[in-house]
Amino acid sequence: MSSGIFLTFEVEREKMVEFLIRCGVLHRAEVIEAFERVPREEFVPTNLRKYAYQDTPLSIGHGQTISAPSMIAIMLESLDLEKGQKVLEIGTGSGYNAALLAEIVGKAGRVISIERIPAIAEFGKKNLKKTGYGNVKVVVGDGTCGYEEEAPWDRILITACSPSFPQPLLDQLRIGGKIGAPIGHVYSFQVWKVAKKVGESEVRIRDFTQCSFVPLVGMYGWKEE
């Protein structure tokens, strides 16, 4: 993808979508449309807007990142998201992923996103509001404990690396529901895995791709150093 200094963000967005389709990571119409609609430049710090459509993670401060578009495409495609679903995201960050989720599940769906760092939660919430996704509920807290108040969830998406799927999140997933997360060690590569809950205490796990994420810090994740 070009750095696009002579292109409008709309054109850069179209080119990013074409690139992700060509790479084989974007397939389903619902996911493609979401990528076409959500303005990524509105979810990155102002000084990084010119890089918004490069396929790379970008810093959002406090040692955290917005993931690369190709990684987000893999994550969203792997979860078979559908209109009307209730989705819990752990790790709001910039809010970009939550906006894509809100586009995919539509008005009949529900997206709640939990972020542990208050200043980042505020950044994500502000970005969601200004781009018209104020219906996404952002909660400050430890997402490894889930969000019992609105469980069960059709889908749960963890956007930070975890040693394993946190038990409270598995408990809050409805039977037939899916949870995706980068599983592995913080200082090494992780694997994006999706677990389908097939019984009260039974899951089927599928591995997708190697990845590298910031740590999921919390009671059922990594401990703070």
Give CA–CA dist 209/151, Å, rounded. Answer: 28
With respect to ligand SAM, which residue has the nearer C-beta, 85 or 113? Answer: 113
Give CA–CA dist 93/208, Å, rounded. Answer: 23
42, 77, 115, 154: which one binds ligand SAM (CB under 6 A): 115
Binding mask 143-182 for ligand SAM (x = CB under 6 A): xx--------------xx----------------------
Catalytic residue among 2, 59, 67, 212: 67
Give CA–CA dist 183/76, Å, rounded. Answer: 16
Span of 12-20, 23-31, 89-97, 194-202 interacting with ligand SAM by CB under 6 A: 89-97
Told to judge if 2 belongs to the known catalytic residues of this protein, a careful annotator would answer no
Cα 66 off chain centre by = 9
User: How many of the chain's residues bind ligand SAM (CB under 6 A)?
Assistant: 26
With respect to ligand SAM, which residue has the nearer C-beta, 5 or 68? Answer: 68
Should residue 216 be labelled a site residue for ligand SAM when binding is judged by CB under 6 A? Answer: yes
Write out the DSSP string of 125-186.
Answer: HHHHHHTT-TTSEEEES-GGG--GGGPPEEEEEE-SBBSS--HHHHHHEEEEEEEEEEEE-T
Q: Which residues contact 142 (CB under 8 A, 6 or more apart)?
A: 114, 116, 218, 219
Binding region for ligand SAM (CB under 6 A): 64-67, 90-91, 93-94, 96-97, 114-117, 120, 142-144, 159-160, 213-214, 216-218, 221
The residues that are catalytic are: 67
